[in-house]
Amino acid sequence: MEYAGSYALFNYRLADPTLGLEPSNVRLIRAFEHGLDPASSEAGFVLVHIDMVRHSGRLVAGTCACLDASASRDRLAFNTGLRAVLTAMKSVNAVMDTMWQRSKPRAYTSFRTFIFGITAQSMFPHGVVYEGVSDQPQSFRGESGANDSSMPPQVILITSKSSS
């Protein structure tokens, strides 16, 4: 099962639609073990990722601001975009820091083994080359918030910033 479409981002409902995406208001629709119980480790694992991705809009906006500023060689605008990315990443990291409070490590393999990654996966038989980062293919075991589509651009942005 892949992460975004099946297991996390299209696999939740709001207990009370008026409360929005507050973590205590999100419930899973499908689960492997006990994930329909919002206090379970499986639900905690998925809900952390949903909560992380809720900050993606700010990451994308900050990244686009950095790219636009780079194209026009506007250092002040680049710094403003980078500050927006940093603020959003602090929010994402604060959510990630709750993982082991919301999902117990001993329960991890009861549901995590069903989510695919890019190691030994037919879609990426030789790994993935991240252009501008490395010429060598990279291979990661299992999808996760760290491999969420909003995270790689941040690594590239930070890498390009530190090399300039």
Q: Please report whether residue 80 resides in a domain.
A: no
Torsion of CA 80, 71, 150, 135, to 10 degrees: -130
Domain tally, the chain? 1
Host domain of residue 40 = 3-57+89-163
**Angle, nearest 10°, between helix axes 56-71 and 152-163?**
40
User: Could you tell me the pTM of the whole model?
Assistant: 0.69
Please, are residues 42 and 31 in contact by the beta-carbon 8 Å criterion? yes
Q: Please report whether residue 74 resides in a domain.
A: no
Q: Please report whether residue 65 resides in a domain.
A: no
Q: Please report whether residue 122 resides in a domain.
A: yes
Q: Please report whether residue 130 resides in a domain.
A: yes
At 31, the pLDDT band (50, 70, 90 cuts) reads confident
Q: pLDDT (tens digit, 9 = 90+) per residue, 54-94?
A: 888 899 899 999 999 999 999 999 999 999 999 999 998 89
Alpha-carbon dihedral sign for residues 80, 82, 84, 90: negative
The pLDDT of residue 143 is 52
SS (H, E, C) 19-56: HCCCHHHEEECCCCCCCCCCCCHHHHHHHHHHHHHCCH
Token pair listed for 39? 């206090």
Q: Please report whether residue 77 resides in a domain.
A: no
Q: Please report whether residue 139 resides in a domain.
A: yes
Residue 50 has pLDDT above 90, yes or no: no
Residue 42 has pLDDT above 80, yes or no: yes
Q: Please report whether residue 12 resides in a domain.
A: yes
